[in-house]
Structure 1
Amino acid sequence: MSLEIRKFVQFDEETLIEGFRKAEPPLRMFAVAAVVKNPWAGRFVEDLTTEIRSYGPELGALLTQRILALAGGGDAIEAYGKAALVGLNGEIEHASGLIHTLRFGNHYRTAVGASSYLAFTNTRGPANAQISIPLMDKNDAGRRSHYLTVQFAIPDAPGPDEIVVALGGSTGGRPHHRIGDRYQDLEELGHDLDNPAAI
């Protein structure tokens, strides 16, 4: 069985004013999504690996290519994440299967020069359900300024027998961020930051 993609969707927003102040520079957050037929919908399938090994790499490559074009290249992306939303005739396991594989995520990691893991959500819902993609700094998981969420919905997807698979990104962190980062908290608590085992 080959991957069946019904359509691609893009989301792009640019925040110019945040907290009653001009955002300098403006923050762009964006996402690309593929609406795909769920090969396991409506039945219990014991072994999902055949489709995962086939669909994961193809989706990872296609979505990475599209989000890089939307962002203007991998260097423009500072924070990143992924998500899958399965329709009502599917399982959460189906959503997870398509995005929780190195064959999917490594396309994006490599393209943006990342070292941190991809934050994620995997959920189930009807058409027009909210898709939330949590973001984090591509190289520093403790950098709180880049804890963001891209949110959008597709009016006609996922259908009951579909899965929406998406990648998200941003060009920076929250405008006017001022809550510090994880490392400041750890220092205040007396943790030895040079000893990861102590954290």
Structure 2
Amino acid sequence: MSLEIRKIVSFEEETLIEGYKKADRPLRMFAVAAVVTNPWAGRFVHDLKPVVREYGPQLGELLTQRICELAGGAENIEAFGKAAVVGLNGEVEHASALIHTLHFGNFYREAVEAKSFLSFTNTRGPANAPISVPMMDKNDGGKRSHYLTLQFNIGDAPAADEIVVVLGGATGGRPHHRIGDRYQELQELGHDVDNPAAV
């Protein structure tokens, strides 16, 4: 079964003022979503891997190209994440399958030269369901300034037999961030910063 994309949706917002104070640098957050036919809708399929290996690279390459263009270049992306929403005739496993694979995510990670894993959500819902894309610093998972969430929706997607597959990005951290990074608290609690599990 070949990949069928009904539409591609781009979303962007730019924050100029936060907390009644002008941002030193405006924060741009953006996402690109592909609305695809769910090849497993309405039935139970045990082995999802053949479709994942076919769809993953196609979606990964397409969405990575689009989001890097939206950012004005991969080098402008500091925080990143991914999401998928499956329609009501599908399983959350179907949403998970298309984004939780290196055949999909590595295109984005390599394009932005990231060290961190892509934070994510995978949910089920009707058309116009909320889409939340959590993000973090592409190179440092403990950098709290870049813990961000982009929210948007698509009025007619996902249909019951569709999946919305999303990549998200941001050009920086939250304006006026001031809660510090997790490393400071690890030190306060007597943990080894290089090995948080050690006391």
Identity %: 76
| Amino acid in structure 1 at the alignment position of 2:134 | P
Q: CA deviation digits over 1:34-73, x for unaligned, max 9? A: 0000000001111111100000111000000000000011
The two structures, once aligned, show a CA RMSD in angstroms of 0.9
1:88 aligns with 2:88: yes
CA distance in 2 between partners of 1:194 and 1:43 (Å):
46
Residue of structure 1 in register with 2:101 after alignment: 101
Residue of structure 2 in register with 1:57 after alignment: 57
Quick check: 2:24–2:175 contact (8 Å CA) kept in 1?
yes
Q: Secondary structure at the match of 1:107?
A: helix
CA distance in 2 between partners of 1:30 and 1:194 (Å):
32
Residue of structure 2 in register with 1:13 after alignment: 13
Q: CA deviation at 1:83?
A: 0.3
Q: Return structure 1 stretches of 4+ with deviation > 6 angstroms.
A: none
CA distance in 2 between partners of 1:131 and 1:183 (Å):
30
Q: CA deviation digits over 1:159-185, x for unaligned, max 9? A: 000000000000000000000010011
Q: Secondary structure at the match of 2:2?
A: coil
Q: Secondary structure at the match of 1:58?
A: helix
CA distance in 2 between partners of 1:95 and 1:5 (Å):
15
Q: How does 1:116-127 map to 2 (within 5 A)?
A: 116-127=116-127
Quick check: 2:186–2:196 contact (8 Å CA) kept in 1?
no
| Amino acid in structure 2 at the alignment position of 1:23 | A
Q: CA deviation at 1:22?
A: 0.2
Q: Secondary structure at the match of 2:59?
A: helix
Q: CA deviation at 1:19?
A: 0.3
Q: Secondary structure at the match of 2:6?
A: strand
Residue of structure 2 in register with 1:160 after alignment: 160
1:45 aligns with 2:45: yes
CA distance in 1 between partners of 2:147 and 2:22 (Å):
20
Q: CA deviation at 1:190?
A: 1.0
Quick check: 2:191–2:197 contact (8 Å CA) kept in 1?
no
Query: Number of aligned pairs?
Result: 199
Q: CA deviation at 1:197?
A: 5.0
Provide structure 1 residue ranges, at least 5 long, that are not aligned to the other structure.
Answer: none
Q: Secondary structure at the match of 1:198?
A: coil
Residue of structure 2 in register with 1:189 after alignment: 189
Q: Secondary structure at the match of 2:165?
A: strand
Q: CA deviation digits over 1:110-167, x for unaligned, max 9? A: 0001000000000000000000000000000000000000100000000000000000
CA distance in 1 between partners of 2:45 and 2:190 (Å):
49
| Amino acid in structure 1 at the alignment position of 2:93 | E
Given the two structures, how large is their TM-score scaled by the length of structure 2?
Answer: 0.98
Given the two structures, how large is their TM-score scaled by the length of structure 1?
Answer: 0.98
Q: CA deviation at 1:191?
A: 1.2
